[in-house]
A and B are shown apart, each in its own frame.
Chain A
Amino acid sequence: MNTTSAQVNRISTAPIPLLEVIGLTTEFHTAKGIVPANKNVSLGVERGKTLGIVGESGSGKSVLCRSILRLLPTPPAKIVNGEILFEGKDLLKLPEEDMRSIRGKDITMIFQDPMTCLNPVYRIGTQITESLRLVQHISASQAREISIDLLHQVGIPSPEKRVDNYPHQLSGGMRQRAMIAMAISSKPKLLLADEPTTALDVTIQDQILALMLDLQVQVGMSIILVSHDLGIVAETSDRVAVMYAGQVMEYAVTEAIFNQPRHPYTVGLLKSIPRMEGGDHRLIPIQGQPPNLLRLPKGCPFVDRCPVADPEVCANTPIELREIERGHYTACLFPEKVSA
């Protein structure tokens, strides 16, 4: 069952993926030591599909997103290894000016907190078409029309009035819609969404997610959706990657993750979701403490909290993703011990 690392690092999904992350390893050099924010991360997303990345805080999912756009500040952060192939080109090797022409155009990103993501001193219409105007020759009034259209597309009522509003005049949900408008203005090929609904009211969350899926069809873009919420990921994603302590634990199509999980961490996550069905279900949390990223074991980072781990083997054997069924990858050394 053991494939060589070279083969393993190349994740095979049937059509050629739009974006492929291969063996990405990123370190943060801090005063307290070196933090392995991402270790040997491999995943990908195809055209028009959605990849959901699930993990707790500190799992490295946000760092991953920023690495794709090369937004990490490179004094503390350092990408040590790996490739990020976008339409076949390694983004990590691109000169900065080329990277800049991809940012905001082919690959765009929306962030978690809409309250702080908009510049308070400019009108939202201006901000939405800012990057567009830099690439194409559009007059101010044309840009305003485009902004109004986009605001309409994202479901903001009275867009002709809203386009001239300042961010503080919009609610959180509306600001996030404006951010989405900004992100789709260039009809991007890939949208990175880092916890887009976490800071919003539960009632608004659904609307935003539905909007994103709608737009995905309209624009024809791929989405990478990062969340700590399994439910959101389940609703929206075609494939799911489960991350823990900077590494990918399991990677498969959504249905497989939820119905045939092959990693104890995934199982633990699934068990800790409250369910609405009847019966006296106690919430079963994952035992143990969140990992200390400065002192990770040589082997599997989940070993301290894993119900089925072999302490000797699991703590000392470095883990990698292995394909155990077609298209279903796990990093667990003992996937056969995992039961849903």
Chain B
Amino acid sequence: MIPALLGITIVAFLFIKLLPGDPLQIMTMGKATPAMIAAERARLGLDRPIWVQYGLFLVSIFHGNLGSSIIMNAPVMDIILKRMSATLFLVGYGAVLGVLITMPLAFISVLKSDRPLDGGIRVGGMLFLGMPSFWLGLLFMLLFGLKLKLFPISGWGKDFSGHLYSLFLPAMVIGLALAPVLIQSLRESMLDIMQTDFVEVARAKGLSPGRVLLKHVFRNAIIPTITILSVKIGWMVSSAVVIETVFSIPGMGLLLVKSVLTRDYPVIQGLTLLFGIIVMVVNLVADLSYAIIDPRINYQ
């Protein structure tokens, strides 16, 4: 985990270094005199060797200092933190909806395996996998937001239930894109587990089919599916960038797009770092939950 974390900081650090042009010119937007620039350069340690600069960068991250926004005149950290909850809520909401959609469909798919309904679910899955999220978002916005006026088309509401309401459409888009993958995985592993000896033992014990399915099959089959869910977290955060843009949700994703357009490089750098850290933390939580769910895993 540590190497990955370092990798993220390196990427964030290199970002500014790799920008074409002189970073100081960029940061001051050409408004400063050469003397001021030279002084700033010394102050920021930009004349020191690159690994020293990297070290200083790491130190400032530790202190929670991610620099200052060029455009908004506020510390990057504060700007991002204000936006973080919207993105986290959206991704979490999307994950929950995705799981809720997956469960019944996966069960139906298993119980009616290889019959038309199962085939229909699989084709439906492929359909949604090939659907661009921004397009689906626009479609939902058009249909349910503008034409039917069922849901708001921007913002994220003021309180918890407001969030649930405003973010329903965008979270649905994320969930619908997540579900096909989960359904396929869950279906495959359930069908696999149903062939195992211990499931036959459970039936021999006289357990009802429902109980066998739920307590024995599902409980084992869910494990690889959780793997996939945690792998897809990074992907979901990715698609949040696009979805926030479509639905004008004040989260980190929209902030990223805006900063790109306004060339607010410190913010972009800070977002790179924080996005990476968030995904890392979520993956860690997923790993830990593994140890709880699968008793065969020993935690080192």
State if A and B touch, Cβ cutoff 8 Å.
yes
List chain A positions with a Cβ less than 8 A from chain B: 69, 71, 100-105, 108-109, 111, 113, 116-122, 130-131, 134, 166, 168, 179, 182
Q: Which residue of A lies closest to B193 (CB)?
A: A119
A168 and B296 contacting across the interface, CB-CB below 8 Å: yes
Q: For this complex, into which size category does the number of interface residues on chain B fall?
A: 20 to 34
Identify which of A108, A109, A117, A120 contacts B220 (C-beta below 8 A): A120
Within the complex, what minimum Cβ distance (angstroms) separates B76 from chain A? Answer: 45
B295 within 8 A of A: yes
Q: Which 4 A-B pairs have the closest CB atoms?
A: A104-B206, A103-B206, A104-B205, A116-B197
Residues of A within 8 A of B208 (CB): 100
B294 within 8 A of A: yes
A103 and B220 contacting across the interface, CB-CB below 8 Å: no
Residues of B within 8 A of A103 (CB): 203-206
Q: Which residue of A lies closest to B208 (CB)?
A: A100
A102 to B205, CA, bound (A): 9
Within the complex, what minimum Cβ distance (angstroms) separates A67 from chain B? Answer: 12
Q: Which residue of A lies closest to B203 (CB)?
A: A71
Q: Contacts A100-B208, A119-B220 given; indicate if A113 touches B203 (C-beta within 8 A).
A: no
A131 and B197 contacting across the interface, CB-CB below 8 Å: no
B203 and A120 contacting across the interface, CB-CB below 8 Å: no
A21 to B138, CA, bound (A): 67
A111 to B197, CA, bound (A): 8
B4 within 8 A of A: no
Q: 15 A-B pairs, CB-CB below 8 angstroms?
A: A71-B203, A71-B204, A100-B208, A102-B206, A104-B204, A104-B205, A109-B204, A119-B198, A119-B219, A121-B294, A134-B206, A134-B207, A134-B211, A168-B296, A182-B205
Residues of A within 8 A of B294 (CB): 120-121
Within the complex, what minimum Cβ distance (angstroms) separates B213 from chain A? Answer: 13
For B198-227 the 0/1 string (1 means CB < 8 A from A) is 101111111110010000100110010000
Residues of B within 8 A of A121 (CB): 219-220, 223, 293-295
Q: Which residue of B lies closest to A168 (CB)?
A: B296
Identify which of B200, B207, B295 contacts A120 (C-beta below 8 A): B295
B196 within 8 A of A: yes
A101 to B207, CA, bound (A): 9
Taking each of B203, B206, B211, B296, which has the highest tally of chain A beta carbons within 10 Å of its own beta carbon? B206
Q: Contacts A168-B295, A168-B296 given; indicate if A117 touches B205 (C-beta within 8 A).
A: no
Residues of A within 8 A of B203 (CB): 71, 103
A168 to B220, CA, bound (A): 14
A100 to B207, CA, bound (A): 7
A302 to B224, CA, bound (A): 48
Residues of A within 8 A of B223 (CB): 121
Q: Which residue of A lies closest to B216 (CB)?
A: A119
Residues of B within 8 A of A168 (CB): 295-296
Residues of B within 8 A of A134 (CB): 206-207, 211
A166 and B296 contacting across the interface, CB-CB below 8 Å: yes
Residues of A within 8 A of B295 (CB): 120-121, 166, 168
Identify which of B196, B206, B293 contacts A131 (C-beta below 8 A): B206
A253 to B45, CA, bound (A): 96
Residues of A within 8 A of B216 (CB): 119
For B262-300 the 0/1 string (1 means CB < 8 A from A) is 000000000000000000000000000000011110000
Within the complex, what minimum Cβ distance (angstroms) separates A293 from chain B? Answer: 22
Taking each of B196, B205, B293, B295, which has the highest tally of chain A beta carbons within 10 Å of its own beta carbon? B205
A71 to B197, CA, bound (A): 12
A260 to B211, CA, bound (A): 49
A79 to B118, CA, bound (A): 28
B197 and A113 contacting across the interface, CB-CB below 8 Å: yes
Within the complex, what minimum Cβ distance (angstroms) separates A144 from chain B? Answer: 17
